[in-house]
């Protein structure tokens, strides 16, 4: 039986973030192959983490900068190791190379964090994003190095796939486009009509910087929307709301901080329109996938819709400035024909880009092909092998130095 170890940056929280939903879908896919799946993480457990045992996935708490992992992975002897985000590859990749050298290494990027970081800096400086800044980014160098050291990287956004291929010259053989997986046979069919829905909404983990920035920007846009729709409210949901967020709650203006949503799908489907003026970020946005599932039209920005619709029309509006965003919000809220067209666009996107069956087959095919010729695959990835060379193992030596330092404290 194939054995896969997934090393998580955090324990999966499907009710808190899109990353949690995506991770759970990957674990379920691996189980569906008849594989033995173990999830390990150095992160602290949380009250909101999913019970992996319900899905037949075993779990293990592991420690950073500690030889205990070496003993653990030798005993487990996985056939495949997947790292959740590049930081986990930096921490544990060299140990996997040393103690499980024949294991295929997969990197689940979630999104390109360097892209998100450079865009964030541009927004703070009130400047346009420049690709040269990304090429100069230390984070990008680390992220690309991790991709090269792995046998396969999962990329959720086709924009980022093109960026990796055409700007960073990463080989097609090392990448697979894998957006969020959706079981199209289970799409909800009991959705409220246009007239039965009311109010605007947005949702997102408050700890995620692009989401918090979006809430602050909505505070700026909301008065103009409210002026044209006096009876409308904006309901803002999200996990881990800080005091600075709850302080924005204003019943008089209908700007309502709701915080945690017990069921994101339920609150989404009761709303008429989703608003999300995302000014920076990367990857693809789970809130928009939920909006497609519930047929709730969305108004967002080009960065918000990036990597999610290709040549197909968006399920709502992609606004390039504040005035267009406000006009689109009002139009979708008041014009039933516009609303229904957006719904149709969303369903088309789900079938064209998020079909669990076709995406799973794509991933399975890629993994099967690489595993069947792993030595040759690695030989052809010269830069990846070069980055594993002992003269470049800074993360390994730093880890070992920290480990020795910690041991000295105990003596």
The pLDDT tens digits for 209-253 are 999 999 999 999 999 999 999 999 999 999 898 999 999 999 999
The domain 3-182+356-406 having CATH identifier 3.40.50.1820: the answer here is no
Exposed, middle or buried, 55 (CB in 10 Å: 0-12/13-18/19+)?
middle
CA neighbor of 278 nearest in space, from 353, 239, 221: 221
| b/e sequence 285-298, b meaning 16+ C-beta within 10 Å | bbbbbbbbbbbbbb
pLDDT digit string, tens, across residues 149-196: 999 999 999 999 999 999 999 999 999 999 999 999 989 888 999 999
Planar angle of CA 186, 29, 207, nearest 5 degrees: 85
Exposed, middle or buried, 195 (CB in 10 Å: 0-12/13-18/19+)?
exposed
CA neighbor of 172 nearest in space, from 380, 17, 388: 380
Q: Stretch 101-105: mean pLDDT, rounded?
A: 97
Say whether pLDDT at 74 is over 90.
yes
In CATH terms, the fold of domain 185-353 is Rossmann fold (3.40.50)
121: left (phi over 0), alpha (psi -120 to 50) or beta: alpha
Predicted confidence band of residue 263 (pLDDT cuts 50, 70, 90): confident
**What's the mean pLDDT when you consider all of the chain?**
94
350 within 8 A of 284, measured Cβ to Cβ = no
Say whether pLDDT at 137 is over 60.
yes
Dist CA 104 CA 72 (whole Å): 17
Comma-separated ranges of CATH 3.40.50.2000 domains in the chain = 3-182+356-406, 185-353
Integer CA distances (angstroms), 100 to 36, 76, 176, 285, 395, in order? 16, 9, 23, 34, 18
* Range in 76-90, 167-181, 254-268, 308-322 the model is least confident about: 254-268
pLDDT digit string, tens, across residues 364-410: 999 999 999 999 999 999 999 988 876 556 667 777 777 777 777 76
Q: Stretch 118-133: mean pLDDT, rounded?
A: 92
Percent of the chain with pLDDT over 90: 84
Give every strand in the sheet of 36-41, ordered side by side: 58-61, 36-41, 3-7, 80-84, 104-108, 152-155, 175-177
Dist CA 339 CA 299 (whole Å): 11
Q: Stretch 296-304: mean pLDDT, rounded?
A: 97
Helix ranges, 77-204 (H): 86-99, 113-124, 131-136, 138-149, 158-166
The first and second tokens of residue 97, run together, are: 């190379």
Exposed, middle or buried, 307 (CB in 10 Å: 0-12/13-18/19+)?
buried
For tokens 């799409």, name the residue.
Answer: 187
Q: Stretch 28-46: mean pLDDT, rounded?
A: 96
pLDDT at 411: 64
């Amino acid at each position: 039986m194939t054995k896969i170890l997934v090393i998580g940056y955090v324990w999966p929280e499907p009710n808190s973030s899109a990353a949690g939903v995506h991770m759970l879908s990957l674990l379920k896919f691996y189980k569906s192959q008849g594989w033995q799946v173990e999830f390990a993480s150095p992160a602290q457990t949380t009250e909101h983490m999913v019970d992996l045992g319900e899905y037949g996935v075993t779990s293990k708490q592991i420690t950073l900068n500690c030889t205990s992992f070496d003993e653990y992975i030798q005993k487990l002897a996985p056939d495949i190791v997947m790292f959740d985000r590049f930081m986990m590859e930096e921490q544990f990749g060299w140990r996997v190379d040393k103690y499980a050298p024949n294991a295929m290494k997969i990197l689940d990027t979630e999104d390109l964090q360097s892209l998100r970081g450079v865009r964030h800096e541009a927004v703070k400086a009130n400047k346009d994003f420049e690709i040269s800044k990304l090429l100069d980014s230390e984070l990008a160098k680390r992220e690309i190095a991790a991709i090269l050291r792995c046998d396969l990287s999962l990329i959720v956004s086709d924009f980022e796939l093109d960026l990796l291929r055409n700007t960073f010259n990463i080989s097609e053989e090392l990448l697979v486009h894998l957006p969020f997986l959706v079981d199209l046979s289970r799409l909800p069919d009991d959705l409220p009509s246009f007239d039965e829905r009311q109010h605007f909404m947005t949702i997102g983990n408050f700890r995620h910087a692009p989401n918090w920035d979006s809430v602050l920007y909505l505070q700026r846009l909301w008065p103009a929307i409210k002026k044209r729709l006096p009876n409308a409210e904006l309901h803002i949901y999200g996990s881990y709301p800080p005091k600075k967020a709850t302080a924005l709650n204003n019943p008089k203006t209908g700007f309502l901080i709701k915080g945690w949503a017990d069921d994101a799908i339920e609150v989404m489907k009761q709303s008429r329109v989703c608003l999300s003026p995302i000014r920076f970020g990367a990857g693809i946005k789970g809130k928009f996938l939920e909006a497609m599932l519930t047929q709730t039209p969305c108004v967002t920005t080009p960065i918000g819709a990036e990597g999610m619709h290709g040549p197909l029309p968006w399920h709502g509006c992609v606004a390039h400035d504040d005035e267009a965003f406000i006009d689109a919000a009002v139009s979708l809220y008041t014009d039933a024909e516009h609303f229904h067209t957006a719904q149709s666009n969303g369903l088309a996107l789900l079938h064209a880009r998020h079909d669990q069956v076709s995406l799973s087959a794509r991933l399975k095919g890629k993994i099967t092909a690489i595993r069947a010729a792993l030595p040759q695959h690695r030989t052809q990835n010269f830069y990846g092998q070069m980055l594993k060379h002992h003269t470049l193992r800074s993360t390994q030596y730093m880890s070992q130095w920290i480990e020795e330092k910690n041991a000295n404290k105990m003596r």
